[in-house]
Amino acid sequence: MRATSCWLVLGGWLGACASPAWADDVFPSQPIRLIIPMVAAGSTDVMARIIVPKMAAALGQPMVIDNRPGGNGLIGEEMVARAKPDGYTLMLESTAAAINPSLNAQNYDPLKAFLPVSQAAAVPLILTVNSTMQAQNVKELIAEVKAKPGVYTYASFGNGSIAHFAGEIFKLNAGLEMTHIAYKGSPQAVNDTIGGQVNMMFAPVPTIVQHFKAGKARGLAITAPVRSSLAPQIPTMAEAGVAGMEVQTWFGFFLPTGTPPAIANRYYEEIQKAFKLPDVRAALDAQGFTIIASTPAEFAKVFHAEVERFARVVKQAHIKADG
């Protein structure tokens, strides 16, 4: 059974998650639905709970968070693709929006169906090895893996996940032969990596840093353009000598294509204001998010580039969708 959860920001409004829109001269004049195509309590949902109350207060209307998980985001995405472009349906989606076109059959073209509003933030990954591995840095790891082609394994939290793509891009860029081991979630993938069942993985920063402190694993490099405040001692992949490894889970706001530009700009302005608030910045930083808050034009450029990038990786690495 598909799980659906809704909650209200700025209470006082009672009604269904999908109330019909009506014509108005001043936007917004009714509650706004924010569709999150992932489960409640996931990273996308965590970000929404931090920023949405600020946006709702500024907009003067409740924002209903509507979790629509399933199909790596396809269920929620299709709802937005088919929604009326009146500004009352907004989506906060992850990198899945750029990965899905290459792996899953869709009834819509995300490049045509979605209007990018702002790339909000990102969570980078850390190339992590378990304590039994000899490599102390990326250069040594590459040499170790190349010495035994096909012997080493890397974990991910699902086929087609960002951790899977990071591993395949690493293999392509460094000329490595490794076997991908897909898990059904991040916890099991991390546990088996630090436990020695697999040799390495690209793990989300907030999930893995605690294990570094405990000495159960080593972080060799981070897949971001800059170092993380949660692990400042770990170099970027570029610093470690591997180019083209900026592979992060990003989160962005989208509207249905056809939404009036004035409404899209209003959302962008409120997103910008929210990200400048000290308590929002502190809360996101504590969760391992790197704030981006790009303009609609910047996000559109990134979104198109990411769709094309993941399509190339799918073809080069022969990645197949589950089932």
Per-residue DSSP letters for 177-197?
Answer: --EEEE-SSHHHHHHHHHHTS
Confidence at residue 186, expressed as pLDDT on a 0 to 100 scale: 85
The β-bridge relationship of strands 153-156 and 179-182 is parallel
Q: Which DSSP helix (H) or strand (E) runs through 8? A: strand 5-9
Q: If DSSP codes are grouped into helix, strand and coil, which group holds residue 166? A: helix
Helices (H), 1-73: 43-59
Q: If DSSP codes are grouped into helix, strand and coil, which group holds residue 29? A: coil
What burial letters (b/e) apply to 88-112, b meaning 16+ CB within 10 Å? bbbbbbbbbbbbbbbbbeeebebbe
pLDDT tens digits, 99-108: 999 998 899 9
Average pLDDT, the chain: 91
Angle among Cα 127, 244, 249 to the nearest 5 degrees reads 60
**CATH no., domain 32-121+249-317:** 3.40.190.150
Angle among Cα 286, 289, 291 to the nearest 5 degrees reads 115
Give the position of tokens 């209307």: 61
Confidence at residue 26, expressed as pLDDT on a 0 to 100 scale: 87
CA–CA separation, 120 and 137 (whole Å): 31
Q: Assign domain 125-222 to its CATH architecture.
A: 3-Layer(aba) Sandwich (3.40)
CA–CA separation, 284 and 290 (whole Å): 7
In which residue ranges of the chain is CATH 3.40.190.150 found? Answer: 32-121+249-317
- Radius of gyration of the chain from its Cα atoms, rounded to whole angstroms: 20
In which residue ranges of the chain is CATH 3.40.190.10 found? Answer: 125-222
Which two tokens mark 142? 């590459």
Task: State which residues of the chain have pLDDT below 50.
Answer: 1-5, 7-24
What is the value of pTM for the model shown? 0.87
Q: If DSSP codes are grouped into helix, strand and coil, which group holds residue 104? A: coil
Decide if 91 contacts 254 (C-beta within 8 A): yes
Which two tokens mark 246? 């900026």
CA–CA separation, 168 and 101 (whole Å): 18
Positive or negative, the CA dihedral 257, 259, 264, 265 is: positive
